[in-house]
Amino acid sequence: MISETGLLVARKKFEGYESLHKFGQNPALNASTKETIWKHGGLYPWSSLTSAAVLHCSSSHASDTGELRIEGLDANFLPLVETITLTGTDDVVTSGLFIRMDRMIYQDGANAGNISAKIGATDGDVVSYIGVGDNQTLQAFYTVPANKVGYLVMYTAGSGKNDDAQIDLYIKKFGGSFLLSSQMDVFQSTSSNTFAVPIKLSPKTDIDFRAITSTANSKVIVNFDILLERL
């Protein structure tokens, strides 16, 4: 049931609050090690994001020459948005320095290739990724900006036919380490976890949904909702 508070936030009538809905997919989970739930696969390279740096962005297909909107955080962990024009397989370097990635959106129709943003250098780690035809990133991780507090309200997880996954939510406060904060098992189904008391996420907190499967190449999707309070 939709709450009155939720409607007020969605209508931007609740001063100082906004909602965030994010979702990610990992189409081929590993059966021996956990992976972050994002289209690129593998664990997300948080250790590569110790300082703000430019992004080197390109596609695996020469015909992707449209605009790419990049949303993330700057060196002060404040929101940073930049739009660049891709030049196919050649690198385009951002003018802004990013320390966290939230989302990328390809704004000119379906992307023909895989679009990658690499941190710091052409051969740097991939920190954001759009799969062929997706138009935007599918990544179940997030960092709370320095000027906001987050409240994780709920998340859902689903696996495909004959697929299974153990879903693990990891949370890292700024300066700390990732700690396991919630778990869920799914088998060719979708389940949800709504917190009676939302999990408070202080400024600069990272969250990372990860999964492992007993059947190699299982597919899993995660959606989550955060209420953000402006400081």
Question: Do residues 162 and 215 make contact, with C-beta atoms less than 8 angstroms apart?
Answer: yes
Domain 15-44+140-230 belongs to what architecture?
Sandwich (2.60)
Q: Specify the pLDDT at position 13.
A: 61
Question: Do residues 153 and 195 make contact, with C-beta atoms less than 8 angstroms apart?
Answer: yes
Residue matched to tokens 């001063």: 15
Angstrom distance (rounded) from CA 215 to CA 166? 11
Angstrom distance (rounded) from CA 7 to CA 229? 15
Query: How many residues can be counted in the chain?
Result: 231
Sites in the chain below the pLDDT cut of 70: 1-14
Question: Do residues 60 and 10 make contact, with C-beta atoms less than 8 angstroms apart?
Answer: no
> 6: which 2 tokens?
């939720």
Q: Specify the pLDDT at position 16.
A: 84
Closest C-alpha to 86, from 109, 106, 110: 106
Q: Specify the pLDDT at position 15.
A: 75
| Global confidence as pTM | 0.94
Closest C-alpha to 69, from 101, 37, 113: 101
Residues 6 or more apart whose Cβ sits within 8 Å of residue 179: 170, 171, 172
Q: Specify the pLDDT at position 3.
A: 65
SS (H, E, C) 70-113: EEEECCCCCEEEEEEECECCECEECCCCECEEEEEEECCCCCCC
Angstrom distance (rounded) from CA 151 to CA 229? 8
Closest C-alpha to 209, from 1, 11, 22: 22
User: For residues 134, 50, 73 and 231, what is the CA-based torsion angle, rounded to 10 degrees?
Assistant: 130
Q: Specify the pLDDT at position 4.
A: 61
Residues 6 or more apart whose Cβ sits within 8 Å of residue 100: 49, 72, 73, 77, 143, 206
Residue type, 113: G
Angstrom distance (rounded) from CA 180 to CA 1? 29
Closest C-alpha to 130, from 161, 108, 152: 108
Q: Where are the domains of the chain?
A: 15-44+140-230, 46-130
